[in-house]
Amino acid sequence: MLREKLKDYHIILASGSPRRQQFFKELDLDYVIDVREVEEVYDPQLKGADITDYLSHLKASVFTNLSEKDIVITSDTIVWKDNIAIGKPTSYAEAKQMLFGLSGQMHEVITSVCFTSKNRQKTIHDTTKVWFKTLTEAEIEYYLDNYKPYDKAGSYGVQEWIGYIAIDRLEGSYFNVMGLPTRLVYKTLMELSEKS
């Protein structure tokens, strides 16, 4: 459906995330992948969705000289807990610490998606609340030894083993926790196609 509506557009997905790439494929979109390096630094006074909005804009800012039919899609996801943004772990020890911090607690997963064309830009974001059961050290170590989630905010993938055994419940979009609020992406692309 979207493929037909956007057939005259050139969709550029600026994400190295295999999960986001799969989502775009399953939304039946024609797209190309173009990932450009950006130093993901933001003002520490930013909170929650302001962080992911800012970073998704920042990732779009390196795309200049867009043609009339280009739509660049950039995105960012954080885990938000106790008024602190939890990004991707840089080591085993940090990943372990992150998971202990989420154990037995509720956290939020916030994803922003920025749609940039030559003449306009629109940003959306979504928040999902996730409750973890209390994890044992053995469970955390098993997960890190077997899944190595160093490319994931909060050091976990909801679609992996840890999601099966740790999540008591969630409130909001499951796909948002995986890194893309798919229903909002679909809605926004439909709107953009109708405004042309």
User: Which sequence positions are flagged as catalytic?
Assistant: 76
DSSP sequence for 65-124: S--TTEEEEEEEEEEEETTEEE---SSHHHHHHHHHHHTTSEEEEEEEEEEE-SS-EEEE
Strands 84-86 and 121-132: unpaired
> DSSP label at 131?
E
| Closest alpha carbon to 78 in 100, 98, 105, 104 | 98
DSSP sequence for 17-80: -HHHHHHHHHTT---EE----------TT--THHHHHHHHHHHHTT--S--TTEEEEEEEEEEE
